Amino acid sequence: MRDSAQGAAAAAARFTGSSVVGVQRLSGTLAEVTLDGGRVVMVKRGDGGPGATRAEAAGLTWLGAAGTVRVPAVHGHDEEWLVTDRVPAGRPSPEAAERLGRGLAALHATGAPSFGAPPPDGPRDAYIGLAPMRNVDGADWPRWYAEHRVLPYVRGAVDGGTLSMAEAVVFERVCARLPELAGAPEAPARLHGDLWNGNVLWAADGHAWLIDPAAHGGHRETDLAMLHLFGLPHLDRLLAAYQQTVPLSEGWSSRIPLHQLFPLLVHAVLFGRGYAEQALAAARSTPAG
């Protein structure tokens, strides 16, 4: 514990060029570090494998470069530590949710070079939470989504004993039908990639800030499906503002379970059978062929 606090302090000093006057550990991997002059930064120890801090730093920088949503500034990183600005806490509000909806719509519209494109300077072998996430370029969303966002985690869940081989067939059948289920083709969007309630910070400045991305080029409905999966205060206001900014394709709400397969299967690999059952229910809810 003490070594972790000392490591966080050393990382903060190295990447900000300021002296450290205090460290408050928030968890085993996260600390608030107070610098000389009173500024506070967040110091996170990478809890994934090699490249995790690099992927997160590159993702924050890529999202921030769009100028559409608020993300903490990155002060620096190495293979173990990531140092960013702290976001002073506030409360959720309908107005902040609407601003985030407009910002997300604009963020997605800035696009990505391809489905599966990593952020500039980001690794191909990235992470979503603690799970590996391979960024492989694709031009066709249904095929890319099946090959790189659904089936790898189905295999991982089978290998881990969370899904049976017979249950894996349910997902394989959905993947085979993705071209007819996916809706109108869309260009690759710039995604946060891990957009659940815990990665949205309601700040004292009246805005919602985004943290901990698994950023990549993908389908914009995937970010919104994750918000539906784990809930968000004033989500209806966010969606209304999104629709007014860049309307979603017809039938988008019926495709929410399809886009939830990715995060649900990731959670099944990481956290077990309960999420596997949710993923199966989502797969079985797709229209019959």
Q: Is 125 part of the annotated catalytic residue set? A: no
For the domain made up of 2-85, the CATH class stated in words is alpha beta
- The architecture of the domain spanning 94-284 is Alpha-Beta Complex (3.90)
Residue 54 CB contacts under 8 Å (≥ 6 apart), including other chains = 77, 79, 121, 122, 123
User: If you compute the radius of gyration of the chain from its CA atoms, what whole number of angstroms results?
Assistant: 19
What is the mean pLDDT of each successive set of 10 residues along the chain, which is 289 residues long? 78 96 91 94 85 95 97 95 96 97 98 98 93 95 98 98 97 97 96 96 96 98 96 97 97 97 98 97 84
Give the pLDDT of residue 3: 64
Q: Which residues face 41 on adjacent strands?
A: 33, 85
Residue 57 CB contacts under 8 Å (≥ 6 apart), including other chains = 74, 77, 82
What is this structure's pTM? 0.94
Give the pLDDT of residue 50: 73
CB 185 within 8 Å of CB 213: no
CA distance 163 to 268: 9
Give the pLDDT of residue 197: 94
- 3, 78, 121, 194: the catalytic one is 194
Give the pLDDT of residue 69: 98
Give the pLDDT of residue 40: 96
What are the structure tokens assigned to 191, written together?
């995604």
CA distance 276 to 55: 27
Angle in degrees, CA 241, 246, 252, rounded to 5? 90
Domain boundaries defined on the chain: 2-85, 94-284
Same CATH topology for 2-85 and 94-284: the answer is no
Give the pLDDT of residue 286: 87
